[in-house]
């Protein structure tokens, strides 16, 4: 009897120390990412992604506090009370695992263009996995046996089975599937870009660059997430098989918390990269609509903006406007009958991008540059790349390939989700 009590006391001590350490980890993570939560959760409109992010942020706190109460602070350690605490804690952990898989499946669904076929496939897999995990958890809870021992506060129990490891295997299978789907789409996208020798415009973080960056970031984050979670899961399974009956699930609460912490970081990082794509200098160009001065809007990273809109076809209209965009000064005068349109890369009539050169004589546009030759050469190379990219996109669209259009639709749907 003395040996049993000593073993139970040692197990309870380990369990309690682990619970306290997990509580510190969860609240530390919450505090250091609170600024990101305010920026990307509370200051944005509610969406499906914000709901998932809320779960990822607050489920670890709920499960950790419940475990802290049941295993460390509870004074009434009767069998029924302890069993209720175990059921509550196990249910919260189950929800944590389910939310993490839902986040990964939603990412895969968005990357694959939010198609109905992918929705049906992932929904069916998720339903089957949830049912299998629920049954495994049910068998695991049936193996709990609270002990009528009082070693300070907190419940003392033994676990008579290891059925919960089936749920961990199912969980790893779902994560593997989500990663494979993400990598397949990333490889397809990269192959398409390489095959067509498409170079996305480097200035401004436009939609093309944004799409590439998001796919790269999601693939890299997905691999890192999978490896970290695989290491934790393998450790958890080894512990279940090797330790005594009183410690078989002492890492489950930690595992669930780590799952949601990593998922929250995935979503935060995605939002940060998404916003960074629009930081720095970017330009919004409006295509020509007809006679007169079409709308032109420049936005620069240093906070200086220039807008020109409206226009006139009168022959004697003379206006003078001086605006600064970065290092460029654009002087507009004598806009008689001027039809200016700025597309992506080239302005009709000979004027190159973003006031990069003088237009033909008689147009009334004078451009004064204060740039080095290296900057001009880089600008010209960029113009050529953008022209090639636009022509290839046009040919691909006309031939019916539709890959770029699919990428844009996927990006648009992805933005709607996230």
Which tens digit of pLDDT belongs to each residue from 128-170?
Answer: 999 999 999 999 888 887 777 666 777 777 787 888 889 999 9
Bigger pLDDT: 375 or 172? Answer: 172
346, two tokens: 């080239």
Residue 58 has pLDDT above 90, yes or no: yes
Q: Can you tell me whether residue 325 is helix, strand or coil?
A: strand
d(CA 98, CA 106): 12
Q: How far apart are CA 161 and CA 156, in angstroms?
A: 16
Question: Taking the C-alpha atoms of 108, 114, 117 and 118 in order, what is their torsion angle to the nearest 10 degrees?
Answer: 10
Say how many CA atoms lie within 13 Å of 42 toward its Cβ.
7
First and final CA of the chain: distance in angstroms?
57
Pick the range with the lowest mean pLDDT from 41-45, 54-58, 87-91, 295-299. 295-299
Which H or E run includes 192? helix 164-195
Q: Both tokens of residue 313?
A: 């076809």
Q: Which helix (H) or strand (E) holds 306?
A: strand 305-308
In which band, very low, low, confident or very high, does the pLDDT at 341 lie, cut at 50, 70 and 90? very low
Contacts of 203 (CB under 8 A, 6+ apart): 281, 282, 283, 382
Residues 402, 407, 411, 417, Cα dihedral to 10°: 80
pLDDT score at 16 = 86
Residue at token pair 């648009």: 412
H or E element in which residue 393 lies: helix 373-399
Task: Note the CATH number of domain 2-276.
Answer: 1.20.1070
- Return d(Cα 48, Cα 106) in angstroms, integer: 10
Q: Average pLDDT of the chain?
A: 71
Mean pLDDT, range 24-53, rounded to an integer: 92
Please, are residues 325 and 354 in contact by the beta-carbon 8 Å criterion?
Answer: yes
Bridge partner residues of 298 (DSSP): 283, 306
C-alpha–C-alpha distance, residues 391 and 384, integer Å? 11
Can you name the residues that pair with 324 across neighbouring β-strands?
329
Nearest Cα to Cα of residue 148 among 5, 10, 359? 5
What is d(CA 263, CA 366) in angstroms, rounded to the nearest whole number? 53
Two structure tokens written together for 385: 């790349």
Tally Cβ neighbours within 10 Å of residue 6: 10
The CA distance from 140 to 123, in Å, is 25
What is the band of 71 on the pLDDT scale with cuts at 50, 70, 90?
confident
Q: What confidence tens digit (pLDDT) does each residue in 169-228 have?
A: 999 999 999 999 999 988 888 787 777 765 554 444 444 444 445 777 788 888 889 999
Residue boundaries of the structural domains of the chain: 2-276, 284-371
**Token digits for 150?**
């009082």
């Amino acid at each position: 009897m003395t040996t049993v009590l000593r073993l139970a006391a040692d197990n309870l001590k380990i369990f309690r120390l682990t619970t306290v350490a997990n509580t510190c980890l969860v609240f530390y993570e919450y505090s250091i990412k609170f600024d990101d939560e305010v920026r990307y959760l509370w200051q944005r409109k509610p969406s499906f992604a914000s709901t998932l992010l809320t779960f990822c942020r607050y489920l670890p706190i709920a499960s950790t506090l419940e475990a802290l109460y049941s295993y460390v602070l509870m004074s009434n350690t009767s069998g029924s009370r302890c069993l209720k605490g175990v059921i509550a804690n196990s249910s919260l952990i189950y929800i944590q695992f389910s939310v993490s898989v839902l986040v990964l499946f939603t990412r895969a669904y968005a990357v694959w263009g939010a198609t109905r076929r992918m929705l049906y496939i992932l929904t069916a897999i998720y339903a089957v996995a949830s049912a299998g995990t629920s049954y495994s958890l049910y068998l695991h809870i049936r193996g709990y046996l609270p002990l009528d021992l009082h070693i300070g506060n907190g419940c003392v129990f033994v676990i008579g089975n290891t059925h919960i490891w089936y749920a961990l295997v199912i969980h790893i299978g779902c994560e593997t599937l989500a990663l494979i789907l993400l990598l397949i789409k990333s490889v397809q996208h990269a192959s398409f870009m390489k095959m067509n020798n498409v170079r996305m415009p480097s200035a401004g973080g436009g939609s093309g660059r944004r799409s590439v960056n998001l796919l790269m970031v999601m693939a890299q984050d997905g691999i890192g997430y999978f490896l970290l979670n695989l290491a934790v899961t393998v450790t958890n399974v080894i512990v279940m098989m090797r330790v005594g009956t009183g410690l078989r699930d002492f890492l489950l609460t930690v595992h669930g918390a780590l799952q949601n912490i990593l998922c929250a970081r995935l979503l935060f990082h995605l939002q940060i990269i998404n916003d960074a794509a629009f930081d720095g200098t970017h330009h919004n160009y409006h295509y020509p609509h007809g006679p007169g001065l079409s709308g032109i809007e420049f936005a620069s990273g240093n906070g200086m903006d220039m807008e020109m809109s409206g226009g006139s076809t009168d022959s004697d209209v003379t206006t003078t406007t001086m605006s600064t965009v970065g290092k460029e000064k654009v002087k507009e005068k004598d806009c008689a009958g001027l039809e200016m349109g700025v597309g992506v890369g080239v302005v009709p009539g000979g004027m190159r991008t973003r006031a990069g050169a003088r237009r033909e004589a008689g147009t009334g546009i004078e451009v004064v540059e204060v740039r080095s030759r290296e900057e001009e050469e880089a600008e010209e190379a960029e113009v050529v790349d953008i022209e090639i990219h636009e022509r290839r996109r046009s040919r691909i669209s006309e031939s019916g390939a539709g890959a770029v259009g699919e990428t844009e639709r996927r990006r648009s749907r992805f933005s709607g989700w996230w």
